[in-house]
Copies of this chain bind each other. A is one copy, B any other.
Amino acid sequence: MKLSTKSRYALEGMLYMAVYGKDRLLTVKEIAAGTAVSPAYMEQIFFTLKKAGLVSTVRGAKGGFTLGYPENEITVGRIIRAIDGDLVPVSCVANLSSCKSKARSNCISRYVWIRISDAIAKTADKQTLEMLKDQFMKESDGAENEDIH
């Protein structure tokens, strides 16, 4: 499966937008700075998010990014899928034809990965940016400039 740092960066960038980008355009530069990711790399990531429709853009000077959907419609699952592709751990799960072994036990183990896959998807799909933002706001209460983890 793929749960890369890239999709983590994507989530952090999107979350940054939800928290700090209400009703205004954010540049990649700002988002990258706010999440401590290299601007060039974040740009590449946002390019992918754009293609998936998860962010909207305005080009040129004074341009920037906004969320492509309401915060409560953007789930962690959508972000991961946009960046890392389907949430499937083993290729054999995705396309059955790659299951070349004749051992029938493979079919059983296949169910195992499907169950795991479903668990991941379910967990990822029920967390929205809105929820995470709320959690963030709550945590920040009375601890604005801590920078403590």
User: Do B8 and A113 touch (CB < 8 A)?
Assistant: yes
Residues on B with C-beta less than 8 A from A94 are none
Q: Mark A25-51, 1 if CB is under 8 A from B, else 0.
A: 000000000111100000000000000
Residues on B with C-beta less than 8 A from A55 are none
How many chain copies? 2
| Size bin of chain A's contact surface | 35 or more
User: Do A108 and B132 touch (CB < 8 A)?
Assistant: yes
Decide: A111 near B92, CB < 8 A? Known: A16-B103, A103-B34, A103-B36.
no
Distance, CA A37 to CA B92, complexed state (A): 14
The minimal Cβ–Cβ distance linking A133 to chain B, given in whole angstroms, is: 8
Decide: A105 near B16, CB < 8 A? Known: A115-B123, A124-B116.
yes
Which of A's residues lie within 8 Å of B, judged by CB? 1, 3, 5, 8, 11-12, 15-16, 19, 34-37, 76, 89-92, 96, 99-113, 115-116, 118-120, 122-124, 127, 132, 135-136, 139-140, 146-147, 149
